[in-house]
Structure formats: structure tokens, C-alpha cells
Chains A and B, each alone.
Chain A
Amino acid sequence: MATAGDDERTEELETLQSIYPELVLDEPFAAYVELLVAPTTPLSITFEPAQEVHKVAYLPPLRLEIDLPIEYPAEAPPNVKLSASPSWLPSETVDKLVKEAHSLWEEYSGGQMLFAYVSYLQEAAGTTFGLSELTLPDSLKDELLQYSKHMKRELFDKETFDCEVCLEPKKGSVCYRMERCNHVFCVQCLQDYLNNCIAEGDVNNVKCMSTDCGKLMPNGKKKERLLSPKELLQIPLSLQAVERYAKIKRKKKIEADPTIIYCPRSWCQGAMRTDKYPKIQDVREMDDSDSDAEEAVETILEEQQAPSGPEKRRVGTSGMDRLAVCEDCTLAFCKVCLASWHGDFVRCEPRDKNQLTEEDQASLNYIMRNTSPCPTCSVPCQKSFGCNHMTCFQCKSHFCYLCGAWLPPENPYGHFGNPKNKGCYNRLMDMVEGDMANGEAQFGGARGAEQIADFWEQEAMRIQNELNAQDS
């Protein structure tokens, strides 16, 4: 009987081992090897029952166990066993691959065929053994994805890259591959660059450093995108830097938005609360790279250009339009007059008259002409009928409808009986039928000043019209 040492089978296995050092000889005529399964195009796997589809670049290796019977190679084919752990390979595929060993043995008509078989398997692994897609139970998902990620990293770590920034060759283990564009830089250069951008507040440059990523597309736009906070943490950048980045990025967007009003408290100046720019909760969860600051500005500009002429009041919006709440100090304030919130029915002096809609302006003019403000709470009051001693409907202050003076509650009528109060003396019952009934009544105080200004404005226009008529 032949001993292991000079057996043809031993010789073949040893030759095979010198070609594949990973091959393990465990018994005299048996061996096993694990073959990498890295298809040229990632395999798409659907996980049941959630129907989640993932592209998997590396699959757990195919384990090939070879056992050579004494009749091998002349009289019998090798016994081969194929498996993968976890078992992701369909049994039909396994059977097909096992059969191939038999056909190869026949093809080699009893010659040594192990090398040919291993190369065949390796080649087939490049196309995932002819599988174009796979459906597997959810229970395998985590393990498979984990494995693929781990392999990717392991192979990447072993590679060498020329960092285009420091111009040095670097091991993959100190490099980072950009998620979106796959450019590789050394971590040191990436950190230096990105930290510098963030420190200077130059967040619009927090993107891939490659010159390819800055190229103009045929449509005139640049294809580069800002990096997501999540990716920055993977590079890794410090949590502190990434938080600063997210904060500045959000702030820039808010500042570019003309509809945002800021808190009137000088020590706060926070932006008003809005759903458009949610407050930052946890940067570790922020993987939005598409919220490019430049894009945001563009869309805002488009919105601005659209409506020219008087703004239309949106249908169905409540009078609460003026209410804003500061996102930092929670102060409730009025968007129009920037005073702390005065309720819906109070007139307020607008910051900028041009920002009012035509309708709002008209009602404001009406309010100015036909109401007198309460001296205590400024709520506009209109007398419907009766005397000129008023009680504010809101704060119960007593005041004079004619001049807006505050009146003592114990003797409100004295104001009208005192000759010193020239404008109001003996005029308690003027306009007894209510405001609007006749436009001739003379007012004092703020309303009177308004009236006089109105008068002179109209007078000036009348004179101008007369002059124009003369000229022509």
C-alpha cells in the first residue's frame, strides 16, 4: 500500500497549496479552502418579508472541502462539498457546482483536475455563480451586510492610494473613500481641509476635494454636493466640529430666506419658529447631503420672483398670520410691528408699509381714519353711538374719543366741562350718532394729528392738480 508521502494525491494537494496558500490540508487526502465571493457587479438581494433590497459587494466565502478517494484520479472523481456560512447559496447552485467537478474530472479523463476546478469556482464567483439576484430571509440580513462592509474595509485597508493633496502614497487604513463619488484622500488631509472650512464658517466648501467634483456639468451646474454630517463623523471629524457645521449650514439657509423674522429682543435675536428649517436634534442622524445651501437660495429666489404686484392673501389663513414665536427664547411677537404679541384684533404700526398687502393697507387706513386708540392698550376703538366718554372694550380704561386723553374713572366727564381743554370743551355729545356719520368732527391727540396731516396732503394734491391743469 502506498504511503501518503509518495501518493499522487498528496502531491497534487501540495501543489495546489503552493498556488493557494489559504488551502488547509487537514487529513492525508483531504483539504479545504475558502474562496472569496466578490462579484464584479454587486449582487442585489431582496430580504423577505420586508422586501428590502440591498446591493451586496462581498458575500461570505464559498467553502470547498475536498476528499480524494483512493481511486482518484484514475478511477473515481474527487468528493467535493460546497457550503457557505451563513448559508446564502441556493442548494440548486451548490448542486450545479458540485456536478461541475464530476464533468471536469471526465473532461480530464482521469487526470489531476483540482486546480482547474478551483479556478473554475473562482471565475464563477466573479458572476456570483450565474445568479443575478437572490431572495433571502430577513434573519440573514445583518450578518450579510456586516460581512460585506467588513470585507470592503479590510480590502481597502490593504490597498495603497496616492493622496492628491499631500502627494504622498498612503495605506488604505489611513485613507477615506468618499461615499458619493468614491474619491479617496488620506484622513489627515481631509481633516485638515474640512476642519479649516468649518472653523472659518466656509461651509459651502465642505465637499469632496477632488477637481473632478468641481467640474461644471453641461447644464451649467456643478455636480458637487455638501457632505452630510453623518459622513463627516465617519471620516472622522469631531462631534463638536460637525455640530458647528450643521448649525452654520442651517443658519445660512435661514438668513437667505426673506420670510424669516428674527426675535426683537436685542439679547436674543433668534429666528422665528418654522417647519422649513427644523432645529438640529442629533447630527449623527443627519445624512442629508442634498440640502445644499446654494440650492436653497435658488428656490427662494424663484419664489420671490414669481408674484409681482400686490400680494394675494392666501385663502383660509387665519388672522394669526402675524404671530411669530422665537425658537430660542420662545417670545411670542408680532411679525409686523415686532412688539411682543398683542393679540389678533390690535392694530399695529407696520415696520415697513411696503410689506403690507393692499387689503391690509386699506383696512389699516380705515382703522386710522375711523377709530381712536385706547391710551392704555392702543387697541383701536370705534364709537358706534353715544357720548365721547369711552370705556375701552379691552382694558376698561376711560378715555376721550376726541383727543385720546385718559380720563379718571371717578370723574370722566370733567374733561368735557373744563374750558382749558379747548378741543373737547362742551363737545361731550359731538357725533352722538357714532363715528363715520359725519366726517367733519375735529379730533385732538394722535388722531387729530393724523387728520391734519391728511388734510394737508389732500390740499397739496389739489394745488398740484390745479397747477397741472394751468400748465396744459
Chain B
Amino acid sequence: MSAGAKKRIMKEYGECMAETPAGMKINFDEQNMTKWEVLMDGPDGSVYAGGHFKLEIIFPNEYPFKPPVVSFRTKIYHPNVSNDDKGSMCLGLLRPDEWKPPNKVVAVLRLIQSLMVEPNIDDAIEPSIANEYKENRKEFEKNAKDWVKRYAK
């Protein structure tokens, strides 16, 4: 990783510390600054409220020219998060063809928060969950809350 990339990650971390977005905690290891661990609270009013989700952000060597890779380390029942042990996400900003170098991690974290409030059904990675969200909202909410109880407490 280039010195410029490291510098930029440090700067972004500094900005996050100066003004941590509400409902998040960022763990940062100076030895390995390309991997951030974020603890995100399920946003109030969403089906995930009350849950605490562990996220992992990996910065590629070409950062900020390539987007960071985000994954849920806590299982979450969500149309935009892969329903496996990887918990990966790939939409909007996080897509390599949509990412622009001036975008920052904070913007990514905010995107995730807003997705927890309202999933993006058109860009779902889990079609069956998306379908359930569309067709049978009650069932979806029950399942999502179930998972919060099981995995995110």
C-alpha cells in the first residue's frame, strides 16, 4: 500500500474520531490500519433496533481509487447482505464502477445505516428476502427481529 493511501486512511480515521457518526464505534489497529472493525447499532425505529452489528471494512491496496470492502460479521437478515458466513455487500457506492475516489468511509457507513432503515429492493443480493420484504412484510419483520435476538444481542 502506498504512503498516500495510508495517509488518507489515517486522515479519515482522524475525521471519524473528531466526529463519530451516531450509533457507531470504530476500532482501529495502528498495526493494521487497512482493516477497521465497526460496531453499529441497529437504527431506532428499524427492525434491527436493539441489535449490535459488527462490521468489517477492508481497504484495498489501491484505496481510495478502489472502494473499501464491507461485510457484516454479525449475521443479519437483510436483502442487501449476503445470507452466508461472509455477510458481504455490493451496492451503490461500494460497486467498483460507482465508487469515486473522493468518497469516504463515513459515507459508506451512513449508506449502511440508511439501508438498515430502508433496504434497497432493486439491488438485492438475496432475492428471496427481497421478495419477502415486498410481498409479506410481516413475515420479513418477524424473521429480521428473530435474527437480531439470535445473533445481534
Question: Measuring CB to CB, which residues of chain A are less than 8 angstroms from any residue of chain B?
Answer: 164-168, 188-189, 192-193, 196-197, 204-205, 209-211, 213-214
Contacts and interface: CB of A to CB of B under 8 A. Distances in A.
Interface in B57-92: 62, 64-65
B45 interface: no
Contacts of A213: 100
B98 A193 contact: no
A189 B100 contact: no
A209 B65 CA distance: 9
Given A165-B101, A204-B97, A209-B100, 20 more contacts: A164-B101, A164-B102, A165-B8, A166-B4, A166-B7, A167-B11, A168-B7, A189-B4, A192-B2, A192-B4, A193-B65, A193-B101, A196-B65, A197-B65, A209-B102, A210-B100, A211-B100, A211-B102, A213-B100, A214-B100
Interface string B1-30: 010100110011000000000000000000
A165 B62 contact: no
Interface string B119-145: 000000000000000000000000000
Contacts of A211: 100, 102-103
Interface residues of B, number: 15
Contacts of A168: 7
B6 to A, nearest CB: 11
Nearest to A214: B100
Contacts of B2: 192
A79 B140 CA distance: 87
A29 to B, nearest CB: 56
Contacts of B98: 214
B103 to A, nearest CB: 6
Contacts of B11: 167
Nearest to A193: B65
Contacts of B102: 164-165, 209-211
A192 B64 CA distance: 10
Nearest to B62: A196
Contacts of B100: 209-211, 213-214
Interface of B: 2, 4, 7-8, 11-12, 62, 64-65, 97-98, 100-103
A9 to B, nearest CB: 56
A188 B4 contact: yes
Contacts of B65: 192-193, 196-197
B19 to A, nearest CB: 14
Nearest to A167: B11
Nearest to B102: A164
Closest 8 CB pairs of A and B: A164-B102, A165-B101, A211-B100, A209-B101, A167-B11, A193-B65, A214-B100, A196-B65
A192 B1 CA distance: 12
B67 to A, nearest CB: 12
Nearest to A164: B102
A199 to B, nearest CB: 10
Nearest to A195: B65
Contacts of A210: 100, 102
A338 B119 CA distance: 53
9 contacts: A164-B102, A165-B8, A165-B101, A167-B12, A192-B65, A193-B101, A209-B101, A211-B100, A214-B98
A167 B63 CA distance: 13
B106 to A, nearest CB: 12
Contacts of A197: 65
A210 B100 CA distance: 7
Contacts of B7: 166, 168
Contacts of A205: 97
User: Which of B4, B64, B98, B100 has the most chain A CB atoms inside 10 A of its CB?
Assistant: B100
Contacts of B64: 165
A129 B12 CA distance: 48
B8 A166 contact: yes
Nearest to B4: A166
A164 B103 CA distance: 9
Contacts of B103: 211
B7 to A, nearest CB: 7
A266 B12 CA distance: 51
Contacts of B8: 165-167
Nearest to A211: B100
A282 to B, nearest CB: 29
